[in-house]
Amino acid sequence: MNRRTFTKTTALATVAVSLPLSSFNGIQSITTDQLIGKGNPALTQGVDYKLKPAAAHAFNQMKAAAKEDGIVLKVVSSYRSYAHQNRIWERKYKRFRESGLSPTASIEKIIEYSTIPGTSRHHWGTDLDIIDGKPKVNGDVLVPSKFHGTGPFCEMKAWMEENAAKFDFHLVYTDTAGRNGFNYEPWHYSYAPLSIPYLKAYKNLDVKQLLQENQLMGSEHFNMEFVERYIQENISDINPELLA
């Protein structure tokens, strides 16, 4: 999906431990660093993406099927390291503060669409932001209106709704009534066979401690209520197809 600067970027490394995942789809192990985007995962480099090999293979199959139907699947974002997500967070926080928003309002604005560094699903190499690369589009492409009505990505959206699950890809942040957390993202898909066990492993982490141990840009305005809500809504309130 498409969110501050940790001034103590080495702190999370102190909790890098191995978490056994041997019972989950053949995944043998993963470290805390890998879960939070600071490890060195084995990734397949595509034309416009970096993904875990199994996710890349499934995506290439889906892309080929889409092409046969006149849809050109184009990846806007795939794997993101901790540092990458951190740059996104910092840029947005500074921009919102400079526009006049309070620190708290800036944080809330960021997490409408962007994650706190160390909590992004894009750290896992299982998730993609996808558009149709065939239409010529001006401006920001990751806008929900461009996937609806007469938007340029409507054809792709319809194709994905009908076919994505056949390749084990599912929309993460749906427009389901009553869903909380991140706003609806019709572009963000996740490869379920890998992302489900990754999420299960991630929930074994002490996310509250991880966020408290690190000082993000603006994190002095975090409180326990905010952290608990973020865990429950932004991390956990997603498409049920992607929950264990």
What pLDDT does residue 37 have? 93
How many domains, the chain? 1
Say if residue 215 is exposed, middle or buried (CB neighbours under 10 Å; 0-12, 13-18, 19+): middle
Q: Is residue 80 part of a domain?
A: yes
What pLDDT does residue 208 have? 83
Q: Is residue 105 part of a domain?
A: yes
Q: Is residue 63 part of a domain?
A: yes
Q: Is residue 20 part of a domain?
A: yes
Is residue 211 within 8 A of residue 222, CB to CB? The reply is yes
Is residue 77 within 8 A of residue 2, CB to CB? The reply is yes
pTM: 0.86
Report the relative pairing of strands 73-77 and 44-45 from DSSP bridges: unpaired
Q: Is residue 72 part of a domain?
A: yes
The secondary element (H helix, E strand) that includes residue 31 is: strand 27-31
Low-confidence spans in the chain with pLDDT less than 70 = 1-28
Q: Is residue 17 part of a domain?
A: yes
Q: Is residue 67 part of a domain?
A: yes
Q: Is residue 218 part of a domain?
A: yes
What pLDDT does residue 87 have? 95
**The domain containing residue 24 runs over which residues?**
11-239
The closest of 117, 31, 124 to 78, measured between CA atoms, is 124
What pLDDT does residue 39 have? 87
What pLDDT does residue 211 have? 80
CATH value at residue 161: 3.30.1380.10
**Alpha helical stretches, state H, the chain:** 32-35, 53-68, 82-98, 103-110, 154-163, 192-202, 207-213, 224-229
